[in-house]
């Protein structure tokens, strides 16, 4: 990715990349960034301008830092309003031809000021900064997002499933066969490694997992993967939605974050003396994430629609607990099968969904985990089964607490988190809170049906 200032010279890979894309029929380049409401915003330019874009960027208003998901412009303490300009500088190393959008290429952008320095609230830079903070302690983080989405018939704002059949069922796979093959082929052509694809549980739902990368790369992949899924879905005459809830009361779509932490000797979630092979710093990292979960909800699932999904007994991870293969826990430890632990062991944060800015989500989890390492935290007793089946007294005795149940409560938790406030820094922290509180206030009296309708086709 770009450094701390707008590049003084063209990246070395620019000329061969531009020539390759031109030979492949690309004429236009899309630069993307993700705002604090989790919306991917774009500016585009002809491929012939790529050299200029790599040096000087493409203009974008900083007003988007405090836009809500439905484009209401708010104003925060530091950011927001109609004034100013930023420069979007493409990361040429991630420049990718969009196979399902003929003539187009895509690159994630870093935000800089017109005067040259990096923009203080650049979300992609935040993720990179947290990865660098981990590296400064001798740790590296690998991450990947799971992607759940629903396929619907086009032409109506209502949700009409495009496919039927049982969750994980062969009947549904038959309906998805040609689509799935085209999707996986497209992903592969774009340099994305697919680990698995299958029909999921909810109505019309599918799921895909991609290979882990460094934190910034994982967030880039999340943006590109969803972009690709939407484009391939349109080519098949379907509409794809990553919204957390399409029908209130039903199962929703999550975007679970998987990550593993390594030092020079290997995976800190395997091969150690702790529970299930956890090493000391690996356990401390997870304990830090667990402690900050109420605040992390505001980042990873803070939209009003997120709380339509975050219900009990749905494997949505609403409880501030951890456990090995515990699908009702917010933090699920996955140890891998015998013989694979050293490379397969990872942790899953289950409460996140696609309304999150993936750069903020992965960066905030790293910041929380590093705080746990610094403070040498330990994990409490694990919790398995479904805590919803316990009485309130039994949950209290076991130390089982529910995560925030609404966007305002989650925003308050983020406001009170010293760890995340320090990591995000004042401008980004305030802008994120401005967005989350603004959305919470505007939808405070909305019915679940109204919230679902307002968000159904936004992601």
Helices (H), 292-340: 293-300, 306-309
Counts for the chain of helices (H) and strands (E), in that order: 14, 15
- For domain 14-119, the CATH architecture is Roll (3.10)
Length in residues, the chain? 459
The residue assigned the tokens 């609403």 is 318
Structural contact between residues 138 and 261, judged by C-beta atoms closer than 8 angstroms: no
| Strand, coil or helix: 399 | coil
* pTM, to two decimals: 0.96
Q: How far apart are CA 453 and CA 406, in angstroms?
A: 18
Answer yes or no: CATH 3.30.590.10 is held by domain 130-455: yes
Confidence of residue 295 (pLDDT cuts 50, 70, 90): very high
Domain borders along the chain are 14-119, 130-455
Distances (CA, A) of 171 to 160, 167, 179, 204, 253: 18, 9, 14, 12, 21
Distances (CA, A) of 438 to 64, 298, 435, 443: 14, 13, 5, 9
For residue 55, count CB atoms less than 10 angstroms from its CB and return exposed for 0-12, middle for 13-18, buried for 19 or more.
middle
Structural contact between residues 362 and 259, judged by C-beta atoms closer than 8 angstroms: yes
Q: How far apart are CA 120 and CA 428, in angstroms?
A: 8
Segment 356-405, tens digit of pLDDT: 999 999 999 999 999 999 999 999 999 999 999 999 999 999 999 999 99
Segment 321-334, tens digit of pLDDT: 999 999 999 999 99
Confidence of residue 1 (pLDDT cuts 50, 70, 90): low
For residue 259, count CB atoms less than 10 angstroms from its CB and return exposed for 0-12, middle for 13-18, buried for 19 or more.
buried
Q: How far apart are CA 204 and CA 207, in angstroms?
A: 11
Q: How far apart are CA 313 and CA 316, in angstroms?
A: 8
Residue 113 has pLDDT above 80, yes or no: yes
For residue 16, count CB atoms less than 10 angstroms from its CB and return exposed for 0-12, middle for 13-18, buried for 19 or more.
exposed
| Neighbour-count burial for 307-342, b at 16+ CB within 10 Å, e otherwise | bbbbbeebbbbbbbbbbeebebbbbbbbbbeeeebe
Residue 9 has pLDDT above 70, yes or no: no
CA 144-150-152 angle, to 5 degrees, is 150
Q: How far apart are CA 385 and CA 368, in angstroms?
A: 26
Cα torsion through 348, 349, 355, 360, rounded to 10: -100
Residue 7 has pLDDT above 90, yes or no: no
């Amino acid at each position: 990715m770009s450094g701390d200032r707008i590049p003084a010279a063209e990246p070395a890979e620019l000329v061969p990349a531009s020539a390759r894309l031109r030979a492949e029929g690309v004429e236009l380049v899309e630069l993307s960034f993700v705002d604090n409401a989790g919306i991917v915003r774009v500016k585009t330019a002809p491929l012939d301008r790529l050299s200029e874009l790599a040096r000087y960027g493409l203009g974008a208003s900083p007003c988007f830092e405090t836009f809500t998901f439905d484009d209401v412009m708010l104003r925060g303490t530091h950011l927001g309003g109609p004034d100013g300009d930023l420069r979007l500088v493409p990361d040429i190393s991630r420049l990718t031809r969009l196979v399902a959008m003929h003539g187009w290429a895509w690159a994630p952008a870093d935000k800089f000021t017109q005067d040259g320095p990096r923009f203080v609230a650049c979300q992609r830079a935040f993720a990179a900064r947290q990865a660098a903070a981990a590296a400064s302690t001798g740790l590296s983080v690998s991450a990947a997002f799971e992607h759940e989405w629903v396929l619907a018939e086009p032409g109506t704002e209502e949700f009409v499933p495009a496919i039927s059949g049982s969750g994980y069922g062969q009947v549904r796979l038959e309906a998805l066969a040609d689509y799935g093959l085209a999707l996986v082929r497209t992903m592969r052509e774009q340099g994305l490694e697919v680990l698995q694809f299958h029909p999921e549980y909810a109505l019309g739902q599918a799921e895909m997992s991609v290979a882990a990368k460094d934190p910034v790369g994982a967030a880039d992949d999340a943006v590109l993967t969803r972009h690709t899924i939407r484009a391939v879905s349109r080519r098949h005459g379907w509409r794809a939605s990553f919204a957390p809830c399409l029908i209130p009361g039903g199962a929703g779509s999550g975007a679970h974050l998987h990550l593993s932490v390594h030092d020079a000797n290997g995976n800190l979630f395997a091969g150690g003396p702790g529970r299930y092979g956890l090493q000391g710093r690996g356990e401390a990292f997870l304990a830090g994430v667990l402690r900050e979960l109420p605040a992390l909800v505001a980042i990873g699932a803070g939209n009003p629609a997120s709380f339509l999904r975050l219900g009990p007994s749905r494997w949505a991870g609403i409880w501030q607990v951890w456990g090995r293969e515990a699908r009702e826990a917010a933090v699920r430890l996955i140890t891998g099968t015998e013989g694979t632990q050293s490379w397969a062991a990872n942790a899953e944060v289950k409460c996140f969904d696609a309304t999150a800015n993936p750069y903020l989500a992965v960066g905030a989890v790293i910041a929380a985990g590093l705080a746990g390492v610094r403070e040498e935290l330990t994990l409490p007793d694990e919790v398995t089964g479904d805590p919803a089946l316990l009485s309130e007294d039994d949950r209290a005795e076991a130390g089982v607490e529910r995560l925030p149940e609404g966007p305002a409560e989650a925003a308050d938790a983020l406001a009170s988190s010293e760890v995340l406030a320090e990591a995000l820094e004042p401008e980004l922290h305030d802008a994120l809170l401005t967005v989350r509180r603004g959305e919470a206030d505007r939808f405070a009296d909305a019915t679940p049906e109204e919230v679902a309708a307002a968000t159904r086709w936004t992601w």
